[in-house]
Amino acid sequence: MFGRYITKSPDETKELASKFTKDISQRDVIALIGDLGTGKTAFTQGFAKAIGVQESVGSPTFKLISEYQGVSFSLYHIDCYRLKNVQQFINIGGEEYIVSANGVTIIEWADIIEEILPDDTIKIHFKRIFDDLNHREIIVS
């Protein structure tokens, strides 16, 4: 699971995410870090589909956390895009939702709340590769 990957389309990013689900279990936290449009939501969608989520996963405007029911565990999708800082996240009570006993948590723009993430958080960095519009470098650590 750890390492550097190159994907050449949104579908390849979703496919990579679906492979990841095999190594992930309840209580795991996955932090997605990278600029707008680098594939964080695409990754989350691929992950959700692979664990059996029926609903479509998006980027809701007013919601910080969305919960989706998979076949054997839930997915908690947190998007920190609209947060100014970690204090704001703590003030609205987000901290208690980071680790979930019955599910996996995927956090977009996780760099904003990095200081309160568990030590064993799986970090995934997304970057554009400028020789092709549809290429992304995805580094898992």
Binding stretches for Mg ion (CB under 5 A): 40-41, 59, 108
| Least distance CB 1 / Mg ion (angstroms) | 21
Of 6 and 116, the one with the shorter C-beta distance to ligand ADP is 6
| Surface-to-core class of residue 49, CB atoms within 10 Å of its CB (0-12 exposed, 13-18 middle, 19+ buried) | middle
Query: Backbone phi, then psi, for 100, in 5-degree steps?
Result: -125, 130
Element (H, E) at 89: helix 86-91
Chosen residue from 29, 30, 41, 98 binding ligand ADP by CB under 6 A = 41
Residues 6+ apart with CB under 8 A from 134: 8, 9, 10
The residue among 82, 71, 27, 26 whose CA lies nearest residue 48 is 71
Please give the distance of CA 97 from its chain centroid, rounded to a whole number: 14
Listed ranges 29-37, 49-57, 62-70, 111-119: which one lies at the site for ligand ADP (CB under 6 A): 29-37
Listed ranges 10-18, 82-90, 93-101, 113-121: which one lies at the site for ligand ADP (CB under 6 A): 10-18
2 and 30 Cβ atoms separated by less than 8 Å? no
123, interface contact from ligand ADP, Mg ion, none, CB < 5-8 Å by kind: none
| Least distance CB 45 / ligand ADP (angstroms) | 7
Q: Kindly write out the interface string for residues 55-94 of this chain, putting x where it contacts ligand ADP by CB under 6 A and - elsewhere.
A: ----------------------------------------
Interface residues toward ligand ADP, by CB under 6 A? 7-10, 12-13, 34, 36-42, 108, 126, 134, 136
